[in-house]
Amino acid sequence: MTVLEPKLLHHGEHVRTEYAPLPGEKEGPMGRSTDQERTDGHAVGIVKRFKKKERLNVRPMAVGWIKAIYKDAIEYTGMTRELRGTGFMIAMLGGPMILGGAVLPGIWLPLRIISDADHPWYVDLLGWVILPLVGLVFAAIALRGIILPGVHADLFPPSDQPILFDRRHRKVYCLMREVQLDRRNLLKPWPIIACEYDWDLIDAEHQADDMATGATVGRYHHLMFAVRKSADDPTIIDSFSIGNANMLSETLVPAMWEHIRRFMEEDGPHLPTPSEPLADLDAPPGWWASVGATGVFGPGYIERWKKQPGFMLFMHIAFPITLPMFLLWGTGNWLSYKTAVAVDWPEEVKQAVGEATARGAD
């Protein structure tokens, strides 16, 4: 199998596309990473800006996201098993819902007009011109905003998007894909880049946002890292995150940060506890195993009933929704593994951190 090793871009050589200044402007839309401009203490938004020299009174945790350890570095995975397939599932569920809600009225009303000859002129205008145009606009929004990026998210992804913290050289390395939402690239591998950032020019933040599901409102927590342009220019040129917002909480985010902080600033341990397992990145052996890896059905079905009977009961009561959701999620997961492109760190990074002393299954 061919393994892709992208060229390493050093600090400042890569500016995320959406963070770049508009023509004629000097500052990007993300602004500058300073305590004055990015105030914390909010329930939504920036909950807290962490300090590298400030020890938090929490138990450090990694929550199973560390995939490999080196003599003076730790490597976090960016794509755990359950994350794969979510984009495909959202595209296959959300896209048709929007398409149906936009297109069907544009079909139904003209048919209704035909069956009723006695109607004013403006009903013709509404039924034959305005509604179909509105339907086409919403169809384009669904295609461009949900279906295309959702499917593209899980087709031909990199095998992983890891983040490596190197305390010896005070560097952070990221392997990531560049976003290109173009239907012409739908069946092509994502462009992969490798970036090196100075640890001293990275600011960590606990961010939170609310997500409405229709019946309830959930809060998602993120451990975000903002990359400053230089020591003299705090303009944000890139950002990255660790962990899955669906699984993180108000207490887990500072716990994950504290482990990274102690490792980088105080020569802390590679793992929060010696018994903590490394991330298991083994691909599910088939489609049915992918369904089990992402939802309540599939392999492990009986064990889930034993461990979480209440949750499993709810999932089965709501099976008209949960069954297609998990089947699509599992299908996206399976496609993600089948089309994944193997990637590895550039030689410069491997020379800097050396050989891994321990590695999770992959």
Residues 32 and 108 both lie in one domain: no
93-119 residue pLDDT tens: 776 666 665 556 555 555 555 555 566
Residues 189 and 123 both lie in one domain: no
Q: What is the pLDDT of residue 104?
A: 60
Closest CA to 336 of 298, 297, 300, 287: 287
Domain boundary among 153, 173, 188: 153
Reduced 3-state DSSP string for 36-101: CCCCCCCCCEEEEECCCCCCCCCCCCCCCCEEEEECCEEEECCCCHHHCCHHHHHHHHHHHHHHHH
Q: Does residue 314 form part of some domain?
A: yes
Residues 99 and 188 both lie in one domain: no
251-281 residue pLDDT tens: 999 999 999 999 999 999 999 988 888 988 8
Contact partners, residue 253, CB within 8 Å, separation at least 6: 47, 206, 221, 222, 223, 243
Domain boundary among 117, 137, 153: 153
Q: Does residue 360 form part of some domain?
A: no
What range defines the domain where residue 23 resides? 8-84+157-355
User: Is the pLDDT at 167 greater than 70, yes or no?
Assistant: yes
Q: Does residue 220 form part of some domain?
A: yes
Torsion angle in degrees (nearest 10) through CA of 241, 54, 278, 343: 40
Residues 143 and 233 both lie in one domain: no
Collapsing DSSP to helix, strand or coil, 32 comes out as strand
Closest CA to 294 of 324, 320, 333: 333
Domain boundary among 110, 127, 153: 153
Q: What is the pLDDT of residue 271?
A: 95
Q: How many domains does the chain have?
A: 2
Q: Does residue 322 form part of some domain?
A: yes
Residues 113 and 148 both lie in one domain: yes
Residues 72 and 131 both lie in one domain: no
pTM over 0.85: no
Q: What is the pLDDT of residue 27?
A: 78
- Average pLDDT on 333-350 reads 92
Q: Determine the Cα–Cα distance for residues 28 and 16; give it in Å rounded to an integer.
A: 10
Q: What is the pLDDT of residue 151?
A: 80
